[in-house]
């Protein structure tokens, strides 16, 4: 299957030097800047503060500086000023967009994709990715080369800002209960304990800021792969196959917990105190358990996330709202329903008190607070929540093939309850299956959650046979 540049509601993602070039980045900058000027008005410098300024940051990928420069050039070419945040995490950019009251943000990142990839993620002035209609308009501006280029005196300028880590950490510390985890460490009062934490940041953007945060919380940290050089020490997605070194470090150092981040630090996976990989699904579940132990309300997650959060919310007389997959869908629903917690089963936790994006730092502080407050180990907390078997997989399929597979699955699983908000989710008496085309890769994702592995495999085998029919 030929790799093509992917332009979706998540932004742009491609292979550097093949289909993602500085020309592409510059033109995408022109398109985004033109869209922002149309959205906020072309002459509104005085009406709304910084309406023609955009924050831009990048993860540690070696191609990041090149693409950031090109994207900045495109923005400046249409009269947008650029605030260069340098090497920062994705959630940090969202914090700064809101802190500086900019009209948008840009992150140069390919998230968990391998090193040959990079991408461009967009944020509006609220720190959230553009909704579908806006994303389609930006895409069309790019394809049509609809650029509102300006003359020399009107070009935007680039200024640097090195306050991102401090601003982000301050936002996260503000949600910490100082009676549980005194900040800074050594403050009198409270029943806090000093946790031993192992951290694997895969040489991405999260290493330095996360170590600073954990130091503020008084944690003793053993960090691996914490050089932000973009040379990933292992495949960057924080899955069980990729965090074996972290598991060994937890055991060797008798750590209380291990945290694994992806390259742009918006996702978080967990290793328990025995060195066992707990996974990404439990990140949101444990964070929600802490939040619902203090208040009731609503949570938001997507159709592909474990039902564990439903049970946690139910025990606190709370509710769960389900959306299509995608951070922006979850964040917008959280704002609409005034939710106390939200996120996705990929290890992304959203707390609106910090910013409306997935944030591994938020996940870390909520889980440490849960451990401190209950006095329980990670494995004890996980065992209290657990009880389901979940399988996540992806198979090669373009959007047309994925839709054909979904249509045939509908004809096969005739007794299932269907939800077609995003691909199709099939709810059975013993669990659920979700089939959906990816927004960032030419693949179809297959997620199934049931009571045991054997039952899960039964559903996976049926989908595999359907896929073989489609691809023959």
pLDDT digits (tens, 9 = 90+) for 279-295: 899 999 999 999 999 99
Helix H or strand E segment including 460: helix 453-471
H or E element at residue 207: helix 207-216
Please give the average per-residue pLDDT across 199-204, as a whole number: 97
Q: How is domain 6-162 classified at the architecture level of CATH?
A: 3-Layer(aba) Sandwich (3.40)
Is the pLDDT confidence value at 191 over 90? no
pTM of the model: 0.91
d(CA 156, CA 105) in angstroms, rounded, equals: 15
Q: Do domains 280-386 and 389-471 have the same CATH topology?
A: no
Give the residue among 140, 127, 150, 88 at the shortest CA–CA distance from 360. 88
d(CA 361, CA 327): 16
Ranges of beta strands (E only) in 336-430 are 341-344, 348-350, 389-396, 417-419, 424-428
Instruction: Let me know if domain 195-276 sits in CATH 3.40.120.10.
Output: yes
Query: Are 85 and 290 within 8 A, CB to CB?
Result: no
Angle at 269 between CA 268 and CA 275, to 5 degrees: 145
Q: Is the pLDDT of residue 96 over 90?
A: yes
Task: Show me where the domains of the chain are located.
Answer: 6-162, 195-276, 280-386, 389-471
Q: What is the H or E stretch that residue 27 is in?
A: helix 22-40
**Banded pLDDT at 179 (limits 50, 70, 90):** low
φ/ψ of residue 304, rounded to 5: -95, 5
Q: What is the mean pLDDT of residues 36-60?
A: 74
Q: What is the mean pLDDT of residues 297-317?
A: 95
| 235-258 pLDDT, tens digit each | 998 989 999 999 999 999 999 999
The more confident residue out of 10 and 453 is 453
Cβ burial, residue 472 (10 Å; 0-12/13-18/19+): exposed
pLDDT at position 10 is: 75
Both tokens of 5, joined, read 């540049």
| pLDDT value of residue 40 | 82
Tally: H helices and E strands in the chain: 14, 21
Q: Can you spell out the DSSP letters for 261-304?
A: E-TTS--EEEE-TTS-EEESHHHHHHHHHHHHTT---EEEEETT
Report whether pLDDT(193) > 90: no
390 — pLDDT class (breaks 50, 70, 90): very high
pLDDT of residue 4: 81
User: Which pLDDT band holds residue 438 (cuts at 50, 70, 90)?
Assistant: confident
- Residue 3 is predicted with a pLDDT of 66
Evaluate whether 135 touches 120 at the Cβ level (below 8 Å). Answer: no
Max intra-chain CA distance, the chain: 68
Is 70 exceeded by the pLDDT of residue 224?
Answer: yes
User: CA gyration radius for the chain?
Assistant: 22
CATH code reported for the domain at 389-471: 3.30.310.50
Supply the pLDDT for residue 150.
96
Q: What is the DSSP string of 53-110?
A: EEEEEE-S-TTHHHHHHHHHHHHHHTT-EEEEEEE--HHHHHHHHHHTT-SEEEEE--
Mean pLDDT of 443-469: 95
Domain 280-386 has CATH 3.40.120.10: yes
Residue with tokens 């899955």: 239
Q: Please list the active-site residues.
A: 111
DSSP conformation class of 218: T
Contact call for residues 99 and 167 (beta carbons, < 8 A): yes
Model pLDDT, residue 279: 85
Mean of per-residue pLDDT scores for the chain = 92
* pLDDT of res. 188: 45
Residue matched to tokens 């932004």:
11
Secondary element (H or E) of residue 117 = strand 117-124
Distance CA 52, CA 138 (A): 16
Q: 463: Cβ–Cβ under 8 A, 6 or more apart, which residues?
A: 405, 409, 433, 435, 446
pLDDT of residue 183: 56
Q: Is 138 helix (H, G, I), strand (E, B) or coil?
A: helix
CA distance 349 to 360: 7
Measured between alpha carbons, how far is 181 from 190 in angstroms, rounded to an integer? 7
Q: What is the pLDDT of residues 74-92, one digit of tens each?
A: 999 999 999 999 999 999 9
Using an 8 Å Cβ cutoff, are 464 and 402 in contact?
no
Q: What is the pLDDT, as a whole number, of residue 442? A: 84
Looking at residue 192, its pLDDT comes to 47
Instruction: Map tokens 């139910």 to a residue.
Output: 314
What's the CA gap between 227 and 199, in Å, rounded?
12
Cα separation, 116 vs 432, in Å, equals 34
């Amino acid at each position: 299957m030929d790799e093509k540049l992917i332009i979706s509601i998540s932004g742009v993602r491609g292979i550097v030097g093949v289909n993602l070039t500085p020309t592409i980045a510059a033109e995408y900058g022109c398109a985004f800047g033109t869209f922002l000027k149309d959205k906020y008005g072309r002459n509104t410098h005085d009406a709304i503060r910084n309406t023609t300024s955009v924050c831009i940051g990048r993860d540690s990928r070696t191609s990041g500086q090149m693409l950031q420069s090109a994207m900045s050039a495109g923005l400046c070419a249409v009269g947008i000023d650029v605030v260069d945040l340098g090497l920062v995490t994705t959630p940090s950019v969202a914090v700064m967009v809101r802190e500086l009251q900019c009209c948008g943000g840009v992150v140069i990142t390919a998230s968990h994709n391998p090193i040959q990839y990079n991408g461009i993620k967009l944020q509006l002035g609220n720190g959230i990715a553009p909704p579908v209609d806006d994303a389609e308009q930006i895409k069309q501006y790019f394809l049509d080369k609809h650029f509102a280029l300006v003359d020399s005196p009107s070009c935007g300028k680039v200024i640097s800002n090195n306050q991102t880590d401090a601003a982000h950490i301050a936002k996260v510390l503000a949600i910490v209960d100082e009676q549980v985890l005194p900040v800074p460490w050594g403050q009198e009062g409270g029943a806090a304990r000093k946790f031993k934490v192992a951290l694997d940041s895969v040489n991405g953007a999260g290493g330095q800021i996360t170590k600073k945060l954990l130091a503020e919380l008084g944690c003793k940290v053993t960090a691996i792969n914490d050089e932000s050089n973009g040379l990933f020490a292992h495949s960057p997605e924080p899955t069980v196959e990729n965090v074996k070194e972290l598991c060994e470090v937890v055991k060797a150092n008798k750590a209380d917990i291990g945290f694994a981040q992806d390259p742009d630090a918006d996702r978080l996976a967990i290793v328990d105190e025995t060195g066992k990989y707990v996974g990404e699904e439990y990140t949101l579940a444990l964070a929600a358990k802490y939040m619902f132990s203090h208040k009731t309300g609503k949570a938001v997650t997507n159709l592909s996330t474990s039902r564990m959060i439903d049970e946690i919310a139910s025990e606190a007389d709370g509710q769960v709202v389900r959306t299509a997959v995608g951070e922006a869908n979850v964040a917008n629903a959280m704002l609409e329903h005034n939710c106390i917690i939200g996120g996705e089963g990929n290890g992304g936790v959203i707390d609106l008190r910090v910013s409306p994006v997935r944030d591994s730092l938020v996940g870390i502080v909520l889980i440490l607070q849960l451990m401190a407050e209950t006095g329980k180990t990670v494995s004890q907390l996980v065992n209290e929540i657990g009880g389901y078997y979940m399988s996540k997989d992806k198979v090669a399929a373009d959007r047309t093939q994925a839709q054909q597979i979904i249509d045939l699955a509908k004809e096969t699983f005739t007794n299932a309850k269907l939800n077609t908000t995003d691909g199709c989710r099939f709810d059975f008496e013993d669990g659920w299956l979700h089939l959906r085309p990816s927004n960032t890769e030419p693949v179809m994702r297959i997620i199934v959650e049931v009571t045991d592995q054997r039952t899960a495999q039964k559903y996976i085998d049926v989908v595999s046979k359907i896929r073989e029919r489609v691809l023959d």
